[in-house]
Structure 1
Amino acid sequence: MPSSRADEEARPLARALADWRLPATKTGKPRALADFDPAAKPFSSGSKAQDKEAVDALAVELDALQDIFFADKRFKLLVVLQGTDTAGKDGTVRGVFARMSPLGVRTVGWKAPTEAERAHDYLWRIHREMPGAGEVMVFNRSHYEDVLVPVVNGWITPEQTQQRYRQINDFERLLSETGTVILKFLLHISFEEQRKRLQERVDDPTKHWKFSLDDLSARKQWPDYQKAYGALLGATSTEWAPWTIVPSDSKTHRNLMIASVLRDTLQGLGLRYPDPNPQLKGLKVE
Structure 2
Amino acid sequence: MKAADYQVTRSIKLTDYKTHEDFGKKSKLEDELDEVSKAIAEIQNAMYAHGKYAVLICIQGMDTAGKDSLIREVFKNLNPRGLVVHSFKVPTPLELGHDYLWRHYVALPARGKFGIFNRTHYENVLVTRVHPEYILGENIPGIDSIADIDAAFWEERFRQINNFEQHIAENGTIIFKFFLNLSKEEQKNRLLRRLDKPNKNWKFSPGDLKERKLWDDYQRCYEEAINNTSKFHAPWYIIPADDKPTARLILAKILLEKLSEYTDIKEPELDEKTKANIDQYRKELEGEE
Deviation for aligned residue 1:277: 3.2
Deviation for aligned residue 1:204: 1.7
Q: 1:278 aligns with which of 268, 272, 275?
A: 272
Which protein is bigger by CA-based radius of gyration? 2
Partner of residue 125, structure 1: 103
* 1:253 maps onto 2:223 in alignment: no
Partner of residue 35, structure 1: 16
SS at match of 1:244: strand
Q: 1:59 aligns with which of 24, 27, 37?
A: 37
Deviation for aligned residue 1:248: 0.7
Q: What TM-score does the superposition give when structure 1 sets the normalisation length?
A: 0.89
SS at match of 2:58: strand
Name the CA distance, whole Å, in 1 between partners of 2:237 and 2:57: 11
**Structure 2 gap ranges (5+):** 134-148
Tell me, yes or no, if the aligned pair for 1:54 and 1:256 is still in contact at 8 Å: yes
Q: What TM-score does the superposition give when structure 2 sets the normalisation length?
A: 0.88
Partner of residue 255, structure 2: 262
Tell me, yes or no, if the aligned pair for 1:151 and 1:157 is still in contact at 8 Å: no
Name the CA distance, whole Å, in 2 between partners of 1:125 and 1:104: 20
RMSD (Å) for aligned C-alpha atoms: 1.4
Deviation for aligned residue 1:19: 3.2
How many pairs does the alignment contain? 264
- 5 Å-filtered alignment, 1:78-89, equals 78-89=56-67
Name the CA distance, whole Å, in 1 between partners of 2:169 and 2:41: 23
Name the CA distance, whole Å, in 2 between partners of 1:178 and 1:226: 32
SS at match of 2:132: coil
Name the CA distance, whole Å, in 2 between partners of 1:130 and 1:264: 23
* 1:215 maps onto 2:208 in alignment: yes
Partner of residue 9, structure 1: none
SS at match of 1:276: coil
* 1:158 maps onto 2:151 in alignment: yes
Deviation for aligned residue 1:209: 2.3
* 1:173 maps onto 2:154 in alignment: no
Question: How big is each residue's C-alpha offset from its partner over 1:82-114, in whole Å with a ceiling of 9 and x where there is no partner?
Answer: 101011110111110111110000000110101
Partner of residue 88, structure 2: 110
Question: How big is each residue's C-alpha offset from its partner over 1:139-192, in whole Å with a ceiling of 9 and x where there is no partner?
Answer: 100000000011112334322111100000000000100000000000011001
Identical aligned residues as a percent: 37
* 1:101 maps onto 2:79 in alignment: yes
